[in-house]
Structure 1
């Protein structure tokens, strides 16, 4: 089965990346329509929305439980780089229009899917909403098949980007001159790709609940959203002040530090809360 899967990936990777995005969009639209139609075709609309809820769900700190999912969605946007490279019109204005329309479209799909999924199942809704429906439903089976194909097609893009990062780390070592040679560079790509696929398969087999993976990855990626941009801005701003305005550099330097410190403290608290929530949820799931 693995050989067949790898052969399929090798065949479809030759297609333009824009077709992968279209396929994923169609799968998401189909799932949204299925959930909405299933809700209105139900014969029993009595759903208990409050059972199985923890006593502290109404606490103000419970709002941090949804942030890892948002951060995970932000972390998945690196695939847009490969999609942008497949576009024929690479003007900035065109890319802005495409990005804004895509975000609005995603917001509509996610909002309707989450709303009607919760209205249908209440608190019993699964992290993977397809798991909440019967396994013998043909319409749901088609949705699962479409999402499976979509994941298979988008997986090479994410693998390529992740492998590029790991390869850059390997090439920055003291043995980088030897690794840049053609035979070693080829084997480096093969080893990194194989390791990436094996780790992915192990996680998929050992962790059946995808919400736990999303929470942990979302907690880690929160640093890329809240902490690192401020650090990079401070570093670039200091270089600009010292190079182009040395007389006002000290005063501007202090203002930049105060501003970044003011922004970093709430961000640090948010990241710690996100990571703590993810780790606590992971431990509770492991204990179960």
Structure 2
């Protein structure tokens, strides 16, 4: 934002970044997002970035932390968190995995310099050694008070080659309209809504049909809040491309242990460098890269007991 000071980032003993807001120390936590082949073998396709705050060495929940952010600082802190996550993604060393970062469009208004915000996103992405196509900007459920601002935000991000995801899809009229208007690259299904549909065979059939229709439209489908093995198997049965949840992996603060369990098999192609994009931005487009293009064999997940349980989120 015009006139704001550049944030101060520090590196810890592992090389990852931290930052601060007032008395709060802020760190990144990443939760893996997986694809699954027909044999049930998992591959990390992406991470969702989550903020972890501490005050005087004690953890503070994200909800409580954001409730304490001064109103005038809300947009700057929102930006600060995204920049922290992008820098840490660069330090993680994965060559192909994408990073999902949250945008709350309700924080933006007509006076916000959205173009400057998008340009700053490009700057920090390139600084991290990444390319914009690996960053998925997740439009959160809070929505925007101004539809025109929302569309300006999405258009600015897309013009700079960032990907767009719509969160908490539940097939209400407003959700359907949001997908039709924003044309996201990724659609995250609401966990509670999926739970209701999986209670009957008719509901499961309709859910399968919806997944197929979105895939035909070129939209990648992601189910989150998976907590049981049978839910993962159901995703495979109906063709869900991406999965996330405690049954697969919990969030970890700037993790490296995931590499032990799910190593990245293939070296990065020459085109997968930030320098390739310096002369393209802010204009231009590149071909879509479906999640299936990134599927590589990895260690199979351990078998989990099949227990009757519902889809749902846990407090992170």
Q: Which category describes the TM-score, using the shorter chain as reference length?
A: under 0.3
Relative contact order (C-alpha < 8 Å, sep 6+): which is higher? Answer: 1
- TM-score, normalization by structure 2: 0.26
Which structure has the highest helix share of the two? 1
Q: Which entry has the higher C-alpha Rg, 1 or 2?
A: 1
- TM-score, normalization by structure 1: 0.28
Which structure has the highest strand share of the two? 2
